Amino acid sequence: MDPRPSPSAAVDAALRVIAEREPTIRAFAFLHEDRAREEARNAPAGPLSGITLGVKDIFDTADQPSEYGSAIFAGHRPRADAAVVAQLRAAGAVVLGKTVTAELAWVSPGPTTNPWRTTHTPGGSSSGSAAAVAAGMVDLAIGSQTAGSVIRPASFCGVLGMKATFGLLSTAGMKPAAPSLDTVGLMARDFDVLEAAWTALTGLDSSAGDGDPAYALVRTDLWDGADDDCKDIVERAAVRIGAVPRELPEVFGGLASELQTVQAFEGARALTWERHAYPELISEELREILDLGDRIETGTYLSVRRRAARARAPESLEALFGAADVIVTPAAVGEAPEGLASTGAPRFNRLWTLLGCPTLTVPGCLGATGLPIGVQLIARPYREAMLLGAGRRLAASFG
């Protein structure tokens, strides 16, 4: 990686890109140039010095509005930064602004467009984070994933996206969607930036992933739902890195679709205040999901949680991975869909989110119409260093 610019030079360069591209990309929910320049002048020296950061607008910031993509929270100003924002700032990163999120980190999208083709969705709910990184507006962005909200937009926008092991990165100061699923993620164009941020947040050395991991191609029971170009990209990637085909064990069958039960049940409860205090400010699409969550019986919810716990047990994960260190599978159904009314289907992300495994979107391939299609890598819990090393190898194989 080339030597980084000073924080002030990095911010000035980023603001020039934003001035050119933001009118059509619309990645930011809040941006104040003078505030960003002042933060750059006062940024502490650290491992992320010279790195510009976008923060998904479900993470609190003490010096900027945190509106969570909802009119309910218009003008809301928290008293403190979310934990991961504070950590990255302490490591020297400069927050340029708050990036657009789908409404309350659910499904109703904001105005953000895909930098590759502005008539297409950037994905969601971490829409602005993925688009800002892809457009060169920021070096690094924070996202969150409750179903597929980091991995899918990273694939659609052609950037790196990593969802951490569930619970490893703090969600303090993050607006909850479904607390047993909500996971912090990171997006970047460059592995060096992604790894530096990972180390700053965890204190773990990403070079621990050096070595030669073994790979398995797991098509899952949803494979036929992927577009043909996506299947071809994933299978060719598997050949390049020597991934051995492996069947999905029976304990995991159908489990991906059951994440929706957990998500809706917990979401209906996490958003109780919003639903009762401001029902007219919640979109019809989200209201329908939350109403469904209300109708789910607690026993049904707990049954899914118990099944997921069995799937996360060491013996089940051993059956899933076998001799492999890293699983290869689709990151999304295919290219970003046309239109901005939907953020795309998260079907290839749900299983791994429910299992709490760390996942990584690796860009480098284009689909049938020239839009990005990422490849998703999955590792055992707490093996992010292995995952990052495997991602570098796969990216290198793309040339």
Q: Is 155 an annotated catalytic residue?
A: no
Q: Which of 56, 98, 163, 175 is catalytic?
A: 56
E strands, 225-344, where? 244-245, 326-330
Cα separation, 317 vs 357, in Å, equals 10
Q: Which of 149, 155, 163, 175 is catalytic?
A: 149
Q: Which of 49, 66, 108, 125 is catalytic?
A: 125
Contact 398, 364 (CB under 8 A): yes
Paired sense of beta strands 52-56 and 372-379, if any: unpaired
Q: Is 163 an annotated catalytic residue?
A: no
Contact 197, 186 (CB under 8 A): yes
Consecutive H or E run containing 8? helix 7-25
Which DSSP letter does residue 78 get? -
Cα separation, 332 vs 253, in Å, equals 19
Q: Is 98 an annotated catalytic residue?
A: no
State how far Cα 236 lies from the chain centre. Answer: 24
Q: Round to the nearest angstrom and report the end-to-end CA distance of the chain.
A: 17
Contact 313, 274 (CB under 8 A): no
Cα separation, 302 vs 142, in Å, equals 31
Q: What are the catalytic residues?
A: 56, 125, 149
